[in-house]
Amino acid sequence: PETRKRLLDGLAERGFGTDQLREMQQIIDAQKSDLFDVLAYVAYAQTPLSREERADRAMALISSHFNSKQQVFLDFVLSHYVSVGVEELDKTKLTPLLRLKYHDSINDAIADLGKPDEIGQMFSGFQKFLYQPVQAVL
C-alpha cells in the first residue's frame, strides 16, 4: 500500500492524477480493471485484467496463507476492491472496512483477526497476491 500510494502521489504531482488515470481507463475500455493494469497497458502493452480476475487469483493464494476468519475478512475487502477500485486497498480504508464488516465493533474484529498490528500486517501483506505475475499464480 505504501509503494502504491507513493506511485499514485508521484503521478498526481506530474499531472496524472486519479481523474486522468480514470480517463485512460475509459479510453482503453478497462473501467473494470485496476489502475495499475492501465499503467502496465500504457507502458508495456500488457492486456489489462479485470479487478474481479485479480481478486479471484489472489483468493486462491490467500486460502493457503491466512486462517479462515482472516480469509472471510479478506474476501470482504476484495469484494470492495472489485466494486470500487484500488483505493479500497489504501491503509486509510482498513478501519472503515473493519467497522463495516464487524458492525462498528473493533473489539469483534480484534477477536477474529488478531491484534491491531497483526491486522495491519494482514491487510498490507495479502495485497502482494493481487499483483503477482500470472505465472506465479498458476
Enumerate the domain spans of the chain. 2-44, 51-131
DSSP for 21-83, please give it. Answer: HHHHHHHTT-TTB-HHHHHHHHHH-PPPPBHHHHHHHHHHHHTTTS-HHHHHHHHHHHHHHHH
Q: Report the SS3 class of residue 9.
A: helix
29-48 confidence digits (pLDDT tens):
999 999 889 999 999 999 99
Q: What is the mean pLDDT of residues 111-131?
A: 95
Helix (H) or strand (E) holding 23: helix 18-27
60-72 confidence digits (pLDDT tens):
999 899 999 999 9
Sequence letter at residue 45: A
pLDDT band at 5, cuts 50/70/90? confident
